[in-house]
């Protein structure tokens, strides 16, 4: 978990609904005094106006004395798409009295205001449930901390930039791992060589995993990965060498009819790399616009897929198309991809999430998948 701290860079003071009512009442009473000429009405108007001024002064003094310090923490900094992430803000303050207030959250563009109570001598804690609906790097912020004067007429808001970063990982496409196991595992990438054990960039960060089976010892269970994946997983012994497999996600905008179709492609790639990594392979993931990720660690591979972006590539040079690995995930076969398939004569499997494909060059074959309804 990562904490981020920020001091308040600015502030504002606004009337609450009660404060606006008091101010408007003072104005109406003042106007009515001209109509009826009753001095008591004039005094009442001044009283209401004075209450607003006093409340404004109290709110300003309280806010400036508070010196808010905000720390934001996420219970899971790398959640899967669709997860509920518990966000906690701890606010230190120096208020010498108890007062009502609020926190203003901004979670990946979604804003919410939540009530809070400032108690003398104690930190205030606010909790917000964020639905991580979009894949990729995200930020959860507390943009403002508010305090209301004792009369409830004026609210002082101290702006903050307290932030906690998160990387929302793609979920595996359901059913694809079973398809790999049952039908085409032997054709997916093959063994492209071996990688010696080691820890470091691109190295293997631990043993392979498999599903829990009756009779497995409890000490074999990988508790961290089991909690993240939502199923029991056990560690397999580390082999002396591990085979390598490679996969490329086509990030060309011409390959997809919608953003949703691209997300299905990323989910399909996630299912493949999880299946391979759990089977003990070192996996290379290629996405346009970012360095290839090479690892046997599922988290590293999913983080690479989380950063994948679908972008137009109209200026691409077809003559220098990159040679493709044995597995390519795409929407439809566009002209640049067709050229790359022709250059990669060894062939392989094209995982397609778009329309039905026509004839493919060489030894390439298409395996269509669909988003579950």
Nearest alpha-carbon partner for 323 in 256, 246, 265, 251: 246
pLDDT digits (tens, 9 = 90+) for 187-224: 444 433 333 332 223 333 345 677 776 666 666 787 77
DSSP for 120-189 reads TTS-EEEEEEEE--S-EEEEEEEEEEEEE-TTSSEEEEEEEEEEEEEEEBPPPPTTHHHHIIIIIGGGSS
Contact between residue 95 and residue 118 where contact means Cβ atoms under 8 Å apart:
yes
Burial degree of 247 (CB within 10 A; 0-12, 13-18, 19+): buried
Distance between CA atoms of residues 81 and 155, nearest Å: 36
Looking at mean pLDDT, say which of 89-93, 183-187, 290-294 comes out highest: 89-93
3-state DSSP call for residue 7? Answer: strand
pLDDT digits (tens, 9 = 90+) for 14-26: 899 999 999 998 8
At residue 92, the pLDDT reads: 93
Q: Which residues contact 208 (CB under 8 A, 6 or more apart)?
A: 235, 236, 238, 239, 242, 277, 278, 279, 280, 281, 296
Q: Find the mean pLDDT for residues 226-252.
A: 76
Confidence of residue 8 (pLDDT cuts 50, 70, 90): very low
Least confident of 28-32, 75-79, 329-333: 28-32
Q: Which residues contact 192 (CB under 8 A, 6 or more apart)?
A: 243, 244, 245, 246, 325, 326
At residue 237, the pLDDT reads: 62
Confidence of residue 181 (pLDDT cuts 50, 70, 90): low
What CATH number is given for 4-168 in this structure? 2.60.40.10
Pinpoint the residues of the chain covered by CATH 2.60.40.10: 4-168
Token look-up 């509920």 returns 84
Q: Find the mean pLDDT for residues 268-297.
A: 89
pLDDT above 60: residue 5: no
Confidence of residue 320 (pLDDT cuts 50, 70, 90): very low
pLDDT above 50: residue 168: yes
Mean pLDDT of the chain: 81
pLDDT above 50: residue 319: no
Percent of the chain at pLDDT > 70 equals 80
Q: Find the mean pLDDT for residues 277-286.
A: 88
Pairing relationship of beta strands 327-330 and 293-295 according to DSSP bridges: unpaired
At residue 288, the pLDDT reads: 86
Which of the pair, 317 or 111, is modelled with greater confidence?
111
pLDDT above 60: residue 107: yes
């Amino acid at each position: 978990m990562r904490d981020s701290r920020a001091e308040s860079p600015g502030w504002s003071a606004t009337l609450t609904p009660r404060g606006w009512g008091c101010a408007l009442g003072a104005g109406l009473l003042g106007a009515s005094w001209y109509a009826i000429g009753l001095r008591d009405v004039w005094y009442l108007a001044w009283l209401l106006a004075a209450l607003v001024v006093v409340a404004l002064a109290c709110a300003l003094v309280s806010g400036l004395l508070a010196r808010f310090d905000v720390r934001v923490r996420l219970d899971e900094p790398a959640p899967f798409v669709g997860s509920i992430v518990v966000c906690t803000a701890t606010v230190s303050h120096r208020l010498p009295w108890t007062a009502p207030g609020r926190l203003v959250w901004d979670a990946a563009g979604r804003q919410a205001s939540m009530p809070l109570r400032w108690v003398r001598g104690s930190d205030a804690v606010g909790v917000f449930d964020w639905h991580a609906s979009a894949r990729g790097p995200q930020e959860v912020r507390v943009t403002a901390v508010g305090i209301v004067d004792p009369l409830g007429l004026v609210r002082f808001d101290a702006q903050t930039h307290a932030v906690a970063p998160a990387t929302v990982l793609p979920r595996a496409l359901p059913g694809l791992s079973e398809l790999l196991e049952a039908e085409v595992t032997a054709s997916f990438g093959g063994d492209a060589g071996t990688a010696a054990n080691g820890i470091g960039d691109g190295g293997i960060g631990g043993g392979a995993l498999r599903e829990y089976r009756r009779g497995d010892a409890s000490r074999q269970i990988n508790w961290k990965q089991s909690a993240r994946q939502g199923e029991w997983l056990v560690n397999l012994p580390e082999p002396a060498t591990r085979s390598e497999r490679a996969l490329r996600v086509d990030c060309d905008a011409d390959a997809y009819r919608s953003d949703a179709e691209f997300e299905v492609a990323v989910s399909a790639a996630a299912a493949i790399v999880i299946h391979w990594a759990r089977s003990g392979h070192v996996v290379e993931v290629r996405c346009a616009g970012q360095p290839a990720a090479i690892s046997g660690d599922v988290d590293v591979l999913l983080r690479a897929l989380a950063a994948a972006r679908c972008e137009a590539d109209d200026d691409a040079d077809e003559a220098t198309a990159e040679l493709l690995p044995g597995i390519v995930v795409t929407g439809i076969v566009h002209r640049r991809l067709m050229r790359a398939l022709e250059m990669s004569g060894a062939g392989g499997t094209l995982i397609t999430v778009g329309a039905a494909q026509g004839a493919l060059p060489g030894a390439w074959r298409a395996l269509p998948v669909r988003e579950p309804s």
